[in-house]
Amino acid sequence: MRVDDLYSQRTKYFRTSEIRELLELSQRPDVISFAGGLPSPHAFPVEEIKEIVERVLSNDYATALQYGPTPGLKIFRETITEYVKNFGINADIDDVFITVGSQQALDIVGRVFIDAGDVIFVSLPTYLGAINAFYAYGANMVGVPLDEEGMRVDILEEKIKELKKKGEKLKLIYTVPTFQNPAGVELSEERRKHLLEIAAEHDLLIVEDEPYSMLRFEGEPIPSIKSMDKEGRVIYMGTFSKIMSPGFRLAYVVAEKSVARKMVVAKQSMDLCAPTFTQVIAKYYVENGYLTRRVEKIIEMYRKKRDIMLDAMDEYFPQECKWTKPRGGMFLWVELPEHINTVEMVQDAVKEKVAYVHGRAFHVDGGGTNAMRLNFTNPDDDVIEEGIKRLAKVIKTRM
């Protein structure tokens, strides 16, 4: 059968993750991997989930094992409505719906808002999963550099004006304001405000993707962009992947009612509803204080890992390298001298039994070829220093 002739036009935009092979290699047992974006398995609330599951199966099985409404179970959306007050968000229950991971929420944004050729602004670097989701709808992604305070909003403004003049269709700005994946940086409060002003001036949406905001090791929380949004311009997403379990595939969106309704219609044909079982479990997890206690433990665990990694980098990495010092989250970002190509260097690293993700994977402009992302949360404490030592050797050899 010549199936190639039968694929839809849309499939020409599909991209497999360019790092999939790399991630497979990095999972070899002898490789110390800083490549994946995974939480530590020691961070999972195993005992808490056992306890809650027992309770749910005894008391709530009729709901937890049944189909649910597409926006999510009302009892769980109520929980989320309360929970997002932690981020200064005053939502109505009709502004909230539940998704199968925030990855699905990103895909729904694509379905609902992106026509082929529409301009989406993202930072350089940005989350790879968002690049792939938006690209699948034919988005024209325009990169905006970032620094220690997140996206350079001044440059964003220039780019918006330039593209508007050319008559491009501008749709939205995608941002991961807190402990960004991959760079680990935080968008400052001033820039958050400015971003919202710019979006208002040019009538753009903001997609605020916040998987890491609870994982703060130090410093004061910065208000979410959604908390400053008076016009319903911000689509906010949060997830249980990094504070409970990514295996639950449970996330939520807060958006202005009419936007939420449109997004829910798009979701209906995807999966009818998010799993009810995990929604009921997560409801107990949040409401009975398990989440707060667990997050405290995760923060302690991850802060220690970050410190081990930063100390080892200070000791072993060549002076010519620069890296971010994240105040939370799961990643840090390294820049090597310009002439070092981190895409080619991956092979050397795998030979030395250490893995990272090259910076190009997170760039929509082909840049980042002298950069890399390191994950500090998944490797065990006692292998981080050895992994950094190996990586330093690989870099020095290239230099």
Ligand X SMILES: Cc1ncc(COP(=O)(O)O)c(C=O)c1O
Interface residues with ligand X (CB under 6 A)? 37, 101-103, 127, 129, 176, 181, 209, 211, 239, 241, 246, 251
Q: How many CA atoms lie within 13 A of 253 on its CB side?
A: 33
Closest CB to ligand X among residues 226, 390: 226
Q: Do 344 and 358 form a contact (C-beta atoms < 8 A)?
A: no
Closest CB to ligand X among residues 102, 132: 102
| Distance in angstroms (rounded) separating the CA atoms of residues 98 and 75 | 11
Cβ at position 296, least distance to ligand X in Å: 21
| Distance in angstroms (rounded) separating the CA atoms of residues 396 and 392 | 6
Closest CB to ligand X among residues 71, 177: 177
9 by Cβ neighbours in 10 Å (0-12 / 13-18 / 19+) ranks as exposed
Q: How far is CA 351 from the centre of its chain?
A: 29
Cβ at position 9, least distance to ligand X in Å: 27
Beta strands 251-254 and 170-175, pairing class: unpaired
Cβ at position 398, least distance to ligand X in Å: 28
Cβ at position 88, least distance to ligand X in Å: 20
Cβ at position 103, least distance to ligand X in Å: 3
DSSP assignments along 186-255, one per residue: ---HHHHHHHHHHHHHHT-EEEEE-SSTT-B-SSPPPPPHHHH-SSS-EEEEEESTTTT-GGG--EEEE-
Closest CB to ligand X among residues 253, 260: 253
Q: Quickly list H helices, the chain.
A: 20-26, 46-59, 61-64, 74-83, 101-113, 128-135, 153-165, 189-202, 225-228, 257-271, 276-287, 290-316, 342-351, 381-398
Closest-by-Cβ residue to ligand X is 101
Q: Among all chains, which residue has been given the structure tokens 């030592």?
A: 389
Residue 31 backbone dihedrals phi, psi, to 5 degrees: -95, 135
Closest CB to ligand X among residues 176, 395: 176
Closest CB to ligand X among residues 102, 378: 102
Closest CB to ligand X among residues 163, 270: 270
Question: Which CA distances in Å does 366 have to 180, 359, 360?
Answer: 19, 9, 6
Q: What is the DSSP letter of 117?
A: T
Closest CB to ligand X among residues 209, 256: 209
Q: Which two tokens stand for residue 309?
A: 């990694």
Cβ at position 162, least distance to ligand X in Å: 27
Closest CB to ligand X among residues 89, 274: 274
| Distance in angstroms (rounded) separating the CA atoms of residues 253 and 291 | 19
CA Rg value for the chain = 21
